[in-house]
Amino acid sequence: MALMTAKEYIDSLRKLRTRVYLFGEQIENWVDHPMIRPSIQCVAMTYALAHNPEYGALMTATSSLTGRKINRFTHLHQSAEDLVKKVKMQRLLGQKTASCFQRCVGMDAFNAVFSTTFEIDEKYHTRYHENFKQFLIQVQDQDLTVDGAMTDPKGDRSKPPHQQADPDMYVHVVERRSDGIVVCGAKCHQTGSVNSHWHIFMPTIAMGEADKDWAVSFACPTDAEGMYLIYGRQSCDTRRLETEGCIDQGNAKFGGQEALVVLDHVFIPNEYIFLNGEYEFAGTLVERFAGYHRQSYGGCKVGVGDVLIGAAALAAEYNGVEKASHIKDKLIEMTHLNETLYSCGIACSCEGCPTRAGNYQIDLLLANVCKQNVTRFPYEIVRLAEDIAGGLMVTMPSEKDFTSDTVVGRNGETIGDICSKYFGTKEGVSVQDRQRILRFLENLCLGAAAVGYRTESLHGAGSPQAQRIMIARQGNLEGKKELAKHIAGIRRGEK
């Protein structure tokens, strides 16, 4: 079964024994929990579109390992064209969900681990690369969702892992056996963690010899013994607990999801280990995963941006100001910023090159430039959207007020009548449609979808300084100096 359907994906989650905690209690039926289900439906869209003939060429690929048809989210990039298709696929899914569809981290982990394990094996004659290939074939054939888990809690960030007062601040090996290892620690704000069949754990920083017990990468089923997940809160999240599909939710169907993933003495068999003490490769793995994931933001955030721009344009239309020159100019600026993000995502893909393992890697400098822009432009896009929408986006009464039959007026008017009267707009636009678009904008800009757009644009795949470090490293400043010297006539050694 190479391609699951959306229904088969959701049904497959029910078979897992994943331990999920929310509001201090274990959630037994987390698949149908109203706060969690929208994020599951987001992932399900990655399965649904793979069966849609209109999107099949974008959503599927041919496995380089088996020759079989697979979901592109389980694919090893084989060309610059594959890298471009990845970005286009992510933009499409952002357009379809207006939220975070969560499978990107796994896809980016696959490609980073594949090339890194190849190079570890070259040096140490280990079998990590074969371990990973066999695992990925399993993922591809079963069309599994895999979370890429990188970010450790870090504790005192001025200290490396081995100097932490609590060694669990970074995932580490606590016992080595002949048949595997036992690990402890945690990974923070893991996108799509609850909705994944498996996790790939990776180091989060470059490490030295003293940190070799923390230099570990492995795959683990999400319902493994000793592993549990604590669901992360989002702004306005309890609106999901109100009437199903209510207008106040904004985006009632889709949503993002993050969790704290805890490993409490989890056993990992040898066949699922991809790094175990080879500390000098920790930084390589981090750098490659970060590069792929920073490329991803040139697709997913752009797709959500498309929807946000459309919603802002509708709000202007419903308010009767769509012809105002300043509104048109703001929509142009939003589009310019959004397409600039997309341009960077495409550029770093087109400049991709093959790794020694055979899969393709993006241009790391351009990928970091892409993500640096993503830390800025969505904030301006959101600001302009909020400007266009007006203050009602954050002061509007609830849907229950608009439907209330409580009499308050002298002539028998209800609260619902009053709300409908004073929040009415131009002829031909229903009050309910205006409610819907304003709540939708609130959700995108401030609410439960914000984790997949605004704030997550800043911190996802590394905060701004992380990209600036990589830009400095990849920017070849010395080479640029030589260009200037050559044209200026400055000869080496002259003063």
- Domain with residue 96: its CATH number is 2.40.110.10
User: Is the pLDDT score of 450 beyond 70?
Assistant: no
Provide the mean pLDDT of the chain: 96
Token code pair at residue 44? 């399900």
Domain that holds residue 355: 287-479
Residues 265-294 have a mean pLDDT of 98
Is residue 210 very low, low, confident or very high in pLDDT (cuts 50, 70, 90)? very high
Q: 40 and 181: one domain?
A: yes
Q: 33 and 60: one domain?
A: yes
> Both ends of the chain: CA-CA distance in Å?
70
User: Is the pLDDT score of 193 beyond 70?
Assistant: yes
Question: Nearest-CA neighbor of 101 among 378, 292, 299?
Answer: 299
Q: 258 and 367: one domain?
A: no
Q: 136 and 173: one domain?
A: yes
Q: 364 and 384: one domain?
A: yes
For the stretch 341-393, pLDDT in tens is 999 999 999 999 999 999 999 999 999 999 999 999 999 999 999 999 999 99
Report the C-alpha gap between 299 and 345 in whole angstroms: 6
Q: 278 and 342: one domain?
A: no
- Domain with residue 314: its CATH number is 1.20.140.10
Coil vs helix vs strand at 75: coil
Report the C-alpha gap between 431 and 57 in whole angstroms: 41
The secondary element (H helix, E strand) that includes residue 273 is strand 273-276
Token code pair at residue 87? 């970005």
Q: At which of 282, 300, 326 does a domain end?
A: 282
Report the C-alpha gap between 380 and 373 in whole angstroms: 11
pLDDT at 448: 65
Q: 253 and 306: one domain?
A: no
Torsions phi, psi for 453 (to 5 deg): -135, -80
Q: At which of 245, 264, 282 does a domain end?
A: 282
The secondary element (H helix, E strand) that includes residue 11 is helix 6-14
For the stretch 50-83, pLDDT in tens is 999 999 999 999 999 999 999 999 999 999 999 9
Is residue 452 very low, low, confident or very high in pLDDT (cuts 50, 70, 90)? low
Residue 473 contacts residue 281 (beta carbons within 8 Å) = no
Report the C-alpha gap between 294 and 359 in whole angstroms: 17
Burial string for 242-277 (b: 16+ CB within 10 Å, else e) reads beeebbbbbbbebbbbbbbbbbeebebeeebbbbbb
Number of domains in the chain: 2
Q: 409 and 298: one domain?
A: yes
**How many of the other CB atoms lie within 10 Å of CB of 208?**
14
Residue 78 contacts residue 114 (beta carbons within 8 Å) = no
- Active-site residues, by number, are 100, 104, 191, 258, 293, 297, 300, 456
Give DSSP secondary structure letters for 294-336.
Answer: HHHHHHHHHHHHHHHHHHHHHHHHHHT-TT-HHHHHHHHHHHH
Report the C-alpha gap between 261 and 279 in whole angstroms: 23
Burial string for 394-416 (b: 16+ CB within 10 Å, else e) reads eebbbbebbebeeeeeeeeebbb
**How many of the other CB atoms lie within 10 Å of CB of 54?**
9
Q: 271 and 303: one domain?
A: no
pLDDT at 489: 95
